[in-house]
Amino acid sequence: MHWSGAFIKYLEGIEFKTEIGKQCLETYIADLREKREKITEVLKKLRKAIKGSKHESVVKNLCSVPGVSFITAITLYTELIDINRFGNTDQLCSFVGLTPSVSSTADHDVVLV
């Protein structure tokens, strides 16, 4: 989940009738800010590790696909590592869960994706 800085400021402005409500929200917001900082730190380290490495061009190419961000590109690359290990696109699609299968009994069919 990604909440913008503007939305977090909105959350900080919410008024509560009770002090405990205010304290709970403040605790959650502090936790949210801490997690966002950790994620930012990890992403910076990943970007630094990729820059200039033999993996940079692969990640760049994956990011050129519409809808694929840096995080998605890194995730795909680390899961697949060597795309050539798949004999064809059907095997690749099956590996990543894009190939539906059918489980059937005498009474009904269930499509599993």
How many folded domains does the chain comprise?
Answer: 3
Ranges 2-11, 16-25, 99-108, most confident:
16-25
Instruction: State which residues form the domain around 16.
Output: 1-50
- Asked if 1 and 38 sit in the same domain, the reply is yes
- Asked if 62 and 101 sit in the same domain, the reply is no
Q: What is the 3-state secondary structure (H, E, C) of the chain?
A: CCCCHHHHHHHHCCCCCCHHHHHHHHHHHHHHHHHHHHHHHHHHHHHHHHCCCCCHHHHHHHHCCCCCCHHHHHHHHHHHCCHHHCCCHHHHHHHHCCCCEEEECCCCEEEEC
**For the whole prediction, is pTM greater than 0.75?**
no
pLDDT tens column, 51-102: 999 999 989 998 998 888 999 999 988 888 888 888 888 888 788 776 666 6
